[in-house]
Amino acid sequence: MDEQAIIETEDLTKVYKTQVAVDHVSFNVVQGEVFGFLGPNGAGKTTTILMLLGLTEPTSGKVRVLGVDPTRDSIKVKGMVGYMPENMGFYGDLDAVQSLKFIAELNNIPRDVADERIEAALRTVGLADEARKKVAAYSRGMRQRLGLAELVVKEPKLAFLDEPTLGLDPDATNRMMDLIESLSCEKGMTIVLCSHFLHMVQRLCRRVGIMIKGKMVAQGPMDRLAQEKLGLGAEEYTLEELYMKYFQET
């Protein structure tokens, strides 16, 4: 496996007024992997992602994303990286094709290339039949899939998915996870996945980072963490057990 680090952070810290949201976090994400970014609500995951995108400035620490410092050259990073925010919004009065066209224009993708990618993306996420419906009439599952289609159109090297399955029914969750897996396998996208569906994360990821109260309490291959923490072999533990173990310790 190509172990080239795509994200490198060193002592990354973010302080909101008095509250320390992210506390000296150092971690790496490697080319081609799906990195499971776990932690309870308010742990600082979203804040970390925002700093990695250059959308918010770190209080201190170093970041490099795809070899670029997002604090310095946010535009460059945002051009190469896809981001699906938690509670992502859509323009309700556009249909799926129009929404995707808008994203393509914002990314300076030439029209003919964009048209091809949009068609392919809609087929990939299974929205081809509803492509001309206004997004306002979409179900939550359809919206999240449209969000993934935006990523497919943009074709970033790296994508941050912040709780993409939040509020989805089990079937839609499965579907979403399958799509994320296909993005990783077929498109070779490196993915940072925040999710509370731990059995899904366990299926998709090899390496995870667990963040609690602003600190990265564990990171590395899941199997190794399980071996160290629980003394269990690769097939014997669940990520949920591992996660709860760390959670109870802090």
Partner 1 sequence: MQGWKPIFKKELADHFSSYRFIILFSLITMVSLIIAYMVGVTIKQDLEGVAKPKFVFLMLFISRGVVFSLVQFVAFFGPLIGLVLGFDAINRERNEGTLSKLLSQPLYRDAVINGKFLAGVVTISIMMASILLLITGMGLKIVGVIPGVEELCRIFLYLIVSIVYISFWLGVSILFSIIFRSIATSALASLALWIFFSFFVSMGATVVANAAAPDANSSNPEAMVRNAKIQRAISLISPMVLYTYGTATVIDPTRKTTSTMVLVGPMEKISQERFSGPLPLSQSILIVLPYILSLIAITAVCFAISYTIFMRREIRSL
Ligand X SMILES: Nc1ncnc2c1ncn2[C@@H]1O[C@H](COP(=O)(O)OP(=O)(O)O)[C@@H](O)[C@H]1O
Site track 31-50 with partner 1 (rule: CB under 8 A), x = hit: ----------------x--x
Site track 24-43 with ligand X (rule: CB under 6 A), x = hit: ---------------x-xxx
Rounded CA separation 79/210 (Å): 27
Contact between 246 and partner 1 by CB under 8 A: the answer reads: no
8-state DSSP, 162: E
Where are the strands (E) in 17-157, listed by range?
19-25, 28-30, 34-38, 60-65, 81-84
Q: Which has the closest alpha carbon to 4: 39, 27, 26, 28?
A: 28
Position among 21, 168, 193, 205 found at the interface with ligand X (CB under 6 A): 21
Binding segment for partner 1 among 3-11, 80-88, 199-207, 225-233 (CB under 8 A)? 80-88
User: According to CB under 8 A, which residues from 58 to 77 bind partner 1?
Assistant: 75-76
Binding segment for ligand X among 3-11, 15-23, 70-78, 202-210 (CB under 6 A)? 15-23
Q: Which has the closest alpha carbon to 50: 204, 192, 147?
A: 192
Residue partners of 88: CB distance under 8 A and separation at least 6: 143, 144, 147
How is residue 185 written in tokens?
A: 């396998």
Residues that bind partner 1 (CB under 8 A): 16, 47, 50, 53, 55-56, 75-76, 78-79, 83, 85, 87-93, 102-103, 105-108, 150
